[in-house]
């Protein structure tokens, strides 16, 4: 799993990790588009009081009203989104609010992948429970929404059965590595998620860098004082690679960790069985 009592460079943040000695189908290309309405649907207004009561979409929260990803094994076209202001998340265009996407996550800027679009709206993956949670952001005019939208050519693919991690760039492959994945009792969850943050523990014990994902263990509701976040990280004992031994996280060799740490936040991570 991720990290037991992990300390982020900018402060103490406990996540789940695999420190116990036994730690932790492709799809169609392109972000999907829903049928275009005759005009852009305006968002439901949210008062200051309502806004204050909405849950923040972080790795520490659950947004039970969030619509689930309907195509969790489809590859997107690489669009990622970052807001310079907290953004209200909606259940759909013209539907009610479900939460707020903060500007930062774990000390890193919040970049999330766009998985569906409708005129004036973007549907994004969220870092909250439940796994595969999504939310819609009103982009109407982009400048008004204070959003940054970029495109990344990278995709991280993890095959839990084969114990393989591959980094693709466009139509090519950057590299493929043998990794360790979740044990039978604490499996690595499958579906599409994303690189949520890049953490550098000031006093690392098993990995100099940790990359939390927008996924959580489906078995452990908490671990090491953290929320059960699944992540990618190194491991000092190379004999674990090729085996299912962790609490849900993916343990990777040093050169794979170096490559992963250079990828843009929000990069799609596709995990298959």
Tell me the helix, strand and coil percentages in the chain, rounded to 5: 5, 40, 55
User: What confidence score (pLDDT) does residue 39 get?
Assistant: 83
For residue 90, the Cα-to-chain-centroid distance in whole angstroms is 18
Percent pLDDT > 90 in the chain is 79
CA torsion angle for 204, 240, 161, 197 (degrees, to 10)?
10
Residue 264, pLDDT above cutoff 70: yes
Going across the sheet that includes 229-233, the strands are: 210-216, 229-233, 250-251
Reply yes or no: is the peptide bond before residue 187 cis, omega within 30 of 0: no
User: What confidence score (pLDDT) does residue 187 get?
Assistant: 98
Residue 99, both tokens: 């939460």
User: What confidence score (pLDDT) does residue 14 get?
Assistant: 36
Q: Kindly list the structural domains of the chain, giving each domain's residue range(s) and its CATH number in brackets, ordered by start.
A: 7-26+153-272 (2.40.440.10), 32-151 (no CATH)
User: What confidence score (pLDDT) does residue 145 get?
Assistant: 59
User: What confidence score (pLDDT) does residue 8 get?
Assistant: 36
Residue 28, pLDDT above cutoff 70: no
Q: How confident is the model at residue 121 (pLDDT cuts 50, 70, 90)?
A: very high
User: What confidence score (pLDDT) does residue 146 get?
Assistant: 87
| Tens-digit pLDDT profile for residues 47-90 | 999 999 999 999 999 999 999 999 999 999 999 999 999 999 99
Q: How confident is the model at residue 25 (pLDDT cuts 50, 70, 90)?
A: very low
């Amino acid at each position: 799993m991720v990290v037991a009592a992990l300390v982020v460079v900018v402060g103490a943040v406990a996540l789940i990790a695999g420190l116990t000695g036994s730690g932790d189908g492709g799809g169609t290309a392109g972000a999907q588009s829903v049928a275009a309405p005759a005009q852009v649907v305006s968002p439901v207004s949210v008062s200051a009081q309502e806004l204050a009561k909405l849950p923040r979409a972080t790795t520490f929260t659950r947004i039970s009203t969030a619509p689930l990803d309907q195509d969790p094994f489809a590859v997107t076209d690489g669009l990622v989104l970052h807001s310079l202001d907290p953004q209200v998340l909606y259940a759909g265009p013209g539907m009610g609010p479900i939460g707020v996407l903060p500007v930062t996550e774990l000390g890193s800027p919040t970049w999330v992948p766009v998985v569906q679009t409708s005129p004036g709206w973007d549907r994004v993956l969220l870092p909250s429970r439940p796994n595969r949670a999504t939310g819609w952001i009103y982009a109407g005019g982009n400048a008004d929404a204070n959003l940054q939208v970029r495109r990344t050519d990278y995709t991280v693919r993890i095959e839990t059965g084969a114990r393989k991690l591959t980094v693709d760039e466009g139509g090519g492959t950057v590299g493929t590595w043998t990794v360790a994945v979740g044990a039978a009792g604490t499996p690595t969850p499958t579906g599409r998620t994303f690189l949520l943050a890049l953490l550098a523990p000031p006093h690392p014990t098993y990995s100099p860098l940790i990359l939390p994902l927008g996924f959580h263990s489906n078995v452990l509701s908490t671990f090491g004082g953290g929320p059960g976040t699944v992540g990618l990280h190194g491991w000092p004992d190379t004999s674990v690679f090729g085996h299912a031994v962790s609490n849900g996280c993916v343990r990777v060799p040093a050169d794979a960790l170096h490559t992963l740490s250079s990828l843009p936040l929000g990069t799609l991570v596709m995990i298959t069985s």
